[in-house]
Amino acid sequence: MEISLDKKIIVISGGTKGVGKQLALQCAADGAHVVISGRDEASAARIIEAAKGAPGSIEFKKTDLHSVESIRELFAFVASKCNKLDGFVNYAGITPAASLTECSESLFNEVFDIDIKAAFFCCQEAVKLMQKTGGGSIVLVGSTHHRRGNKDRTAYACAKGALFTLSNHIARHYAEDKIRCNYLVMGWTPTDGELALRKSQGISEADLRKEAAKAIPMGRMTETDDIVPGMMYLLSDSSSMLTGSEFTLNGGELI
């Protein structure tokens, strides 16, 4: 099976960090034109430089996901420059720690603003653009927390649960427009955000990996190189009949 994204137009929210960054580079290496969004212009410049010479290309559109207007400007930029959209990956998200009894209103609002409200309005714009241009693939990056979550991630778990519902909603109601939507369950991964959170809790990366190795049936953390190929498959025509799936890449965690 050959997976190709040649000449496809892909938008990645949160594409300046972690898995989003690696996905952008791999998509460009496969011939896609990628628009990454975020607020880190310095990181975006390094990614664009790294993609020079690739068959595809990467552009950056500075976007504040707290603002629906900024989200709409992102997709208007894509429409004006590319006149179509083949794939959208919602990678952006935050995962601060707080239990139900500890969660403040401000923390709750921040998690829901980024993890579900921003995703909702990105999907709104992605669907409208895909409806005009013959369909496409939407990948919503979820979490093993989406069914109940760890005790210290209540707001995050609820937001990821809502994202799962959004994925199924789009898959069911927009298949007639040739729009697919899948929920990618990303396992315990040493992302920048995860490492920063654990460092604030006094846990080193080495200790984190030891803890994960005990908890995950496959015996190790999920790495970026485990996730990106799955994302590429979901964005490609090779998965043209795959929609509404809970696409799990987590080494057997929380089955």
Query: For each of the chain's 255 residues, which pLDDT tens digit applies?
Result: 678 999 999 999 999 988 999 999 999 999 999 999 999 999 999 999 999 999 999 999 999 999 999 999 999 999 999 999 999 999 999 988 899 999 999 999 999 999 999 999 999 999 999 999 999 999 999 988 888 888 999 999 999 999 999 999 999 999 999 999 999 998 777 777 777 878 888 989 888 898 888 888 888 888 888 899 999 999 999 999 999 999 988 888 765
What pLDDT is stored for residue 243 in this prediction? 98
- Which phi and psi (to 5°) does residue 41 adopt? -65, -35
Class of CATH domain 9-187+230-249? alpha beta
Which residue ranges make up each domain of the chain?
9-187+230-249, 190-221
Read off the pTM.
0.92
Reference 235, options 91, 120, 73, 115; nearest CA is: 91
What pLDDT is stored for residue 33 in this prediction? 98
Reference 69, options 118, 15, 127; nearest CA is: 118
Residue 178 tokens, joined: 């040739």
Query: Around 229, how many Cα atoms within 13 Å sit in the side-chain half-sphere?
Result: 7
What pLDDT is stored for residue 1 in this prediction? 62
3-state helix, strand, coil in the chain (%, to 5): 50, 15, 35
- Helices then strands, counting H and E runs in the chain, come out as 9, 7
What pLDDT is stored for residue 190 in this prediction? 77
If you write DSSP's letter for every residue of 46-91 in order, what string do you get? HHHHHTTTSSSEEEEEE--TT-HHHHHHHHHHHHHHHS---EEEE-
Q: How far is it, in rounded angstroms, from Cα 66 to Cα 242?
A: 31
What pLDDT is stored for residue 255 in this prediction? 56
Reference 114, options 56, 57, 48, 63; nearest CA is: 63
H or E stretch at 11: strand 9-13
Q: How far is it, in rounded angstroms, from Cα 20 to Cα 241?
A: 24
- Which phi and psi (to 5°) does residue 98 adopt? -170, 130
Each residue's pLDDT tens digit, 122-161: 999 999 999 999 999 999 999 888 888 889 999 999 999 9
What pLDDT is stored for residue 7 in this prediction? 96
Residue 248 pairs with which residues in a beta bridge? 185
